[in-house]
Amino acid sequence: MKFSLTWLKDHLETEASVAELAAAMNRIGLEVEGIEDPAEKLAGFTVAKVLTAAKHPDADKLQVLTVDTGAGDPLQVVCGAPNARSGMKGVLGQPGAVVPSNGMELRKSAIRGVESNGMMCSVRELELGDEHDGIIELPDDAPVGESFASYHGTSPVFDVAITPNRPDCMGVHGIARDLAAAGMGTLKPIAMPPFEEAGACPVEIRTDDPEGCPAFYGRVITGVRNGPSPDWLQQRLQSAGQRPISLLVDLTNYLMLAYGRPAHAYDLAKLNGAVTARRAKDGEQVLALNEKTYTLNSEMTVIADDNGVHDIAGIMGGENSGCSDSTTDVLLEIAYFDPHRIGQTGRKLGLSSDARTRFERGVDPAFLDDGLDLLTGLIAELAGGAATQKVRAGTPPAEARSVSFDPALTQRLGGVDVASDEQQRILESLGFAVDASAVPWAVTAPLRRHDVEGPADLVEEVVRIYGIDDIASVALPRAEGVAVPTASSEQKQERRVRRAAAGRGLNEAVTWSFLPVPEAEHFADGHKLWALDNPISEDMKAMRPSMIPGLLMAAKRNVDRGAGALRLFEIGRRYFRNDDGSSNEKPTVGVVLAGEKTPRGWASGKAVHFDAFDAKAEAMALLAEAGAPADKLQVMGEAGGQFHPGQSGTLRLGPKNVLARFGALHPKTLEAFDIEVPVVAVEIFLDAIPGKKGAASFARSNYSPPALQSVMRDFAFLVPAQLPAGDLQRMVKGADKANIVDARIFDVFAGQGVPEGKKSVAIEVTLQPADKSYKEEDLKAISDKVVAAAAKLGAELRG
């Protein structure tokens, strides 16, 4: 909400500076988001008098002016405005000034060969209105040489964020009330312009929807003169970001912005019959003031006459009954609408307005009479006319909430000791009625304070006005000793994996937990999806059953923007729906490698893409960091239909416990996600990794290297072609656990010299002596064990 300092001072008697007022508003919960001083835009513009005006020697539509600026010799200025003439006073922008409307810096220049020392300005150029047919004409008493900002009376503008629970501050008067309570000045009473009522209202006004519109007040004013608003009114509306339209419309906006009370003025000549607040009919339409047509339903409240709907109640008026310059008779309407109904209608129609913002939060139901009389008096004063008697249809909410309040509660809840008489003063200055003779106090909230429901709300009011800065900062008690680590084992595991993935050159991605349904179903693997009934959008309807689709969508966005290689990982949760309807969340790591592993070059030739072995390497490394026994993992197939059947696999502990799946994605998967580069992926199921035995009591000991040097022995076996090399590696490593500390595959070969249906697997075995070096017979005995173990898998030592 925006308003000028001048407007604030219409309601608050104060000598406080702009900075002091801003600090006070922030202190009492009215956050100042910005302060703009229009005078800064008008720096360099002064009141000037045109001494002479002569035709330009080389242009028919230009004049050469001599202008008195009140400071030294007159200046020569070239001007194209048709109203420029000798003797008039206007606004001169001198060299160095910046024109607010276009940001152009004025300089001394030659126009058609004639020197010009600035520019005489129009209303639009100074952003003071829309007029641009001529330059500004100031009154004869305008002081030549005075800064135009000072003469015009520009005032700093506050931009204040009002929280939804404070509709009473959606008007300048409400903000002034809070500032006065905080000691920043004295609240001025509302000045009610006088007017006389002349006869009964000629229009029947009623409410046929007491739930949506409990109260509907109105009266007719005849013989008004509509037209432009006076300068003071236009200035206040412009400070609030409103565009002045006409006097009648501007006054209704003024009432809303000054007092938080929306109102509406209808051109009486465009109405027919009774004006009624009622439910709309299904399919009924209205052309609103924003020139859009809205289709209504029976859950919406409207203002209508015998011809049809003229107003979407509490949100926006209709185009067909709006006031124009030819309007002479008006019907004023001030009503109280149900906040829930207003919000529901606005969301259904996708229609926002200043009026909706206020009605949806809840306007003051006690301000209907005064609001209508105030608007009537302003119209009578500025536009003339005769007002009829007031019509009251329905009854607004009138039951004030009373709260039992113990002043000692402020100390207990707010942490600040405020004297009882000061608490009473604060509450009464905010409009609360306080009966301090009762024990506890009986405090009655004004009807405009819908947010006050109990004693804690009154404590908040006292503390924010007294000063939150006055609450002492008290440190929380801390027990002696060493703090117990708060991170769980699962969190520590995820941190280790995250660091390891980043260390391996992977980039962490954070994707949505929601997916489009088709992409989610592609990775559901028969599980029941969690789907939202009311998603933000259809692209975020299903909760992800896998980490891979979100990473694939991220990869596509990057590939489409020219990324040649992508190495992405994410740690998050997969979501499933159990048969009993409960949620099932699984901690998971997803990895996607897309595009070129090695770009083309003079040495490598063609680019090399990621393959299944790259995916397996990432899976093994991250599993080891997560605490999985990597040396005991078995490689099996069945990675899932999303993966290429010949270029994928799973890593398991036993036949049923799947710790990860990896490999190249199936071409149909890439087609489903519209990705045109090869992609390999990894999915690690952290919940499937078994915990270490005795992990709770495990203590890290200092590393002590063995005293004796290790021994390496190489073995080459012929094995069936279908035998996974990893199975042979595990069998060899377990042949003699006392001596064999590692077994590493360093070659796999099939082809010339190898029988058909066979392959050659070469393994490097590391032997570690304990207390004495190996003798030849010791090495032979260990080798025999290795060969015997391999033979159990059908392997034979290659000659």
Mind listing the pLDDT tens digit for each residue in 447-469?
Answer: 999 999 999 999 999 999 998 88
Distance CA 726, CA 301 (A): 74
Query: What is the tens place of the pLDDT at every residue in 360-389?
Result: 999 999 999 999 999 999 999 999 999 999
Chain centroid, CA 583 distance in Å: 28
Q: What is the CATH number of domain 707-797?
A: 3.30.70.380
Identify the residue whose tokens are 């006292």.
462
Dihedral pair phi/psi, residue 639, rounded to 5°: -75, -15
Distance CA 308, CA 407 (A): 55
Give the per-residue pLDDT at 101: 86
Contact 314, 356 (CB under 8 A): yes
Q: Give the sign of the dihedral formed by CA 288, CA 294, CA 299, CA 304.
A: positive
Residues 233, 336, 375: CA angle, nearest 5 degrees: 25
Strand pairing partners for 77?
A: 65
Element housing 503 (H / E)? helix 489-503
Same fold, 2-37+156-187 and 402-467: yes
3-state secondary structure of 279: strand
Structure token digits, residue 55: 């035709």
Query: What residue segments make up the domains of the chain, in order of their start?
Result: 2-37+156-187, 40-152, 205-394, 402-467, 489-691, 707-797
Give the per-residue pLDDT at 704: 67
Q: Taking all residues of the chain, what is their mean pLDDT, rounded to a whole number?
A: 92
- The answer to whether the annotation marks 125 as part of a ligand binding site is no
Domain 205-394 listed as CATH 3.50.40.10: yes
Q: Say yes or no to pLDDT of 473 above 90.
A: no
Average pLDDT over residues 47-65: 92
Q: Say yes or no to pLDDT of 306 above 60.
A: yes
Domain 40-152 listed as CATH 2.40.50.140: yes
Q: What percent of the chain has pLDDT over 90?
A: 77
Contact 659, 684 (CB under 8 A): yes
Please count the helices (runs of H) and the strands (runs of E) in the chain. Answer: 20, 41
Distance CA 794, CA 789 (A): 10
Average pLDDT over residues 4-10: 94
Please tell me whether the peptide bond between 440 and the residue prior to it is cis, using omega within 30 degrees of 0: yes
Distance CA 530, CA 544 (A): 8
Closest by Cα among 202, 204, 205 to 221: 202
Closest by Cα among 790, 690, 705 to 743: 790
3-state secondary structure of 452: coil
Confidence of residue 53 (pLDDT cuts 50, 70, 90): very high
- The answer to whether the annotation marks 461 as part of a ligand binding site is yes
Give the per-residue pLDDT at 693: 57
Identify the residue whose tokens are 């929306």.
262
Structure token digits, residue 657: 């416990």
Give the per-residue pLDDT at 39: 82
Distance CA 241, CA 245 (A): 13
Q: Say yes or no to pLDDT of 696 above 70.
A: no
Distance CA 570, CA 495 (A): 12
- The answer to whether the annotation marks 451 as part of a ligand binding site is yes
Give the per-residue pLDDT at 60: 86
Q: Could you write out the three-class secondary structure of 200-260?
A: CCCCCEEECCCCCCCEEEEEEEECCCCCCCCHHHHHHHHHCCCCCCCHHHHHHHHHHHHHC
Distance CA 740, CA 782 (A): 9
Structure token digits, residue 519: 């992409």
Comparing 41-50, 174-183, 696-705, the range with the smallest average pLDDT is 696-705
Query: What is the tens place of the pLDDT at every residue in 91-122?
Result: 999 999 999 888 899 999 999 999 999 999 99
Give the per-residue pLDDT at 38: 82
Q: Say yes or no to pLDDT of 171 above 80.
A: yes
Give the per-residue pLDDT at 706: 82
- The answer to whether the annotation marks 460 as part of a ligand binding site is yes
Q: Say yes or no to pLDDT of 247 above 50.
A: yes
Q: What is the CATH number of domain 402-467?
A: 3.30.56.10
Give the per-residue pLDDT at 692: 65
Distance CA 296, CA 280 (A): 6
Strands, sheet with 441-444, edge to edge from the N-terminal-most edge strand: 402-405, 441-444, 433-435
CA dist 257 → 238, 240, 260, 323, 609 (Å): 11, 8, 6, 19, 64
Query: What is the tens place of the pLDDT at every residue in 719-769?
Result: 999 898 888 998 999 999 999 999 999 999 998 889 999 999 999 999 999
Burial classification of residue 133, based on how many CB atoms lie within 10 Å of its CB (0-12 exposed, 13-18 middle, 19 or more buried)? exposed
- Residues in Cβ contact with 397 at an 8 Å cutoff, skipping those fewer than 6 apart: 214, 336, 365, 447
Contact 253, 262 (CB under 8 A): no
Residue type present at position 108:
K
Average pLDDT over residues 53-79: 91
Confidence of residue 703 (pLDDT cuts 50, 70, 90): low
CA dist 98 → 93, 118, 125, 573, 747 (Å): 8, 11, 10, 56, 77
Give the per-residue pLDDT at 638: 84
Average pLDDT over residues 497-521: 95
Chain centroid, CA 339 distance in Å: 24
2-37+156-187 CATH choice from 2.60.200.30, 2.40.100.10, 3.30.56.10, 3.10.290.20: 3.30.56.10
3-state secondary structure of 344: helix
454-457 long-range contacts, CB within 8 A, separation 24+: 454/403, 455/403, 455/404, 455/405, 455/406, 455/409, 456/409, 456/413, 457/403
Query: What is the tens place of the pLDDT at every residue in 207-240?
Result: 999 999 999 999 999 999 999 999 899 989 989 9
- Residues in Cβ contact with 16 at an 8 Å cutoff, skipping those fewer than 6 apart: 24, 184, 185
- Residues in Cβ contact with 764 at an 8 Å cutoff, skipping those fewer than 6 apart: 712, 713, 714, 743, 744, 745, 746
Q: Give the sign of the dihedral formed by CA 410, CA 412, CA 416, CA 420.
A: positive
Query: What is the tens place of the pLDDT at every residue in 529-578?
Result: 888 888 888 889 999 999 999 999 999 999 999 998 999 999 999 998 88
Burial classification of residue 436, based on how many CB atoms lie within 10 Å of its CB (0-12 exposed, 13-18 middle, 19 or more buried)? middle
Helix H segments across 109-225? 148-152, 172-181
Distance CA 464, CA 786 (A): 80
Q: What is the CATH number of domain 489-691?
A: 3.30.930.10
